[in-house]
């Protein structure tokens, strides 16, 4: 597609439920990133996929968070047993290489855990 | 500990004024990028600087990368209401794939 597409744009869920967030990157971009943006906290790195290499999961805050990327394209971020502190905007970005030349971001998914 | 410190955090100015936003670190970066983010949207890339001392201009915006590649500044001349937004700097370190972001400077330009 022309840009990075994320769905849903908004998600309200009850504490303890699982959620799945989807990211469709720009076609041909080998690198895909997930970040989390909380009020006043800036962008927090979560996970990074580069081609067929093993993902860099060093930013995932707990084992409730996981992500996969199928066929080198679409990615899904899953949060299990959601907590109120998981409420944030989850941003996905892609880049044609390792990101040194810049990311293209999606519009994000605003997750609210009630 | 925040690896990239941005200052000021908030800036409210009148249309036509000039301003400078700073991005500082004790670490060396292989490249540094500036993004602008509007409410409800993802950040949009403005510029990438790679060489120490590099200066890039984008209309009324001037970006500079420090000689030691540890800091950067963004200068806006004659600010306009359309410049309002959150300005984020982000650094790349060597072969590390992900960018490290500062917390941002929230700019408001009043007509």
d(CA A93, CA A72): 14
A23 near B CB under 8 A: no
Indicate the average pLDDT of chain A.
Answer: 93
The residue count of chain A comes to 114
Q: What is the mean pLDDT of residues A22-28?
A: 95
pLDDT value at A10 more than 90: yes
The whole-angstrom distance between A32's CA and the closest CA on chain B is 9
Q: Which chain A residues have a beta carbon less than 8 Å from that of B38?
A: none
pLDDT given at position A65 = 98
What residue in A sits closest to B38 (Cα-Cα)?
A107
Compute the count of residue pairs across chains A and B with CB atoms less than 8 Å apart.
62
Q: Are the beta carbons of B103 and A107 separated by less than 8 Å?
A: no
pLDDT given at position A41 = 74
pLDDT given at position A101 = 73
**Residue of B4 and A42 predicted with greater confidence:** B4
On the 0-12 / 13-18 / 19+ scale of CB atoms within 10 A, B68 is exposed
pLDDT given at position A61 = 95
B104 near A CB under 8 A: yes
The confidence band for A2, taking pLDDT boundaries of 50, 70 and 90, is confident
Q: Which residues of chain B have pLDDT under 50?
A: none
The alpha-carbon radius of gyration of chain A (Å, integer) is 13
Q: Which chain B residues have a beta carbon less than 8 Å from that of A102?
A: 33, 45, 48
pLDDT digits (tens, 9 = 90+) for A57-113: 999 999 999 999 988 799 999 999 999 999 999 999 999 876 667 899 999 999 999
| Residue B100 CB contacts under 8 Å (≥ 6 apart), including other chains | A45, B3, B4, B90, B91, B92, B93
């Amino acid at each position: 597609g022309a840009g990075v597409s994320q769905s849903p744009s908004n998600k309200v869920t009850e504490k303890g439920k699982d959620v799945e967030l989807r990211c469709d990157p720009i076609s041909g971009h080998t690198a895909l990133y997930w970040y989390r943006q909380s009020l006043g906290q800036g962008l927090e790195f979560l996970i990074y996929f580069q081609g067929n290499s093993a993902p860099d999961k060093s930013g995932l805050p707990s084992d409730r968070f996981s992500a996969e990327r199928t066929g080198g394209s679409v990615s899904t971020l899953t949060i299990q047993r959601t907590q109120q502190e998981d409420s944030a905007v989850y941003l996905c970005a892609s880049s044609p290489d390792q990101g040194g030349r810049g990311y293209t971001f999606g519009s994000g998914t605003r997750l609210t855990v009630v | 500990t925040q690896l990239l410190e941005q200052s000021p955090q908030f800036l409210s100015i009148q249309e036509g004024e000039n301003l400078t936003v700073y991005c500082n670190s004790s670490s060396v970066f292989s490249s540094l990028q500036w993004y602008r983010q509007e409410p409800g949207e993802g950040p949009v890339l403005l510029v990438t600087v790679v060489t120490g001392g590099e200066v890039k201009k984008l209309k009324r915006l001037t970006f500079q990368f420090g000689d030691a590649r540890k800091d950067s500044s963004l200068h806006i001349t004659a600010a306009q209401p359309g410049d309002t937004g959150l300005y984020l700097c982000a650094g790349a370190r060597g072969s590390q794939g992900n960018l490290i972001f500062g917390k941002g400077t929230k700019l408001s330009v009043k007509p």
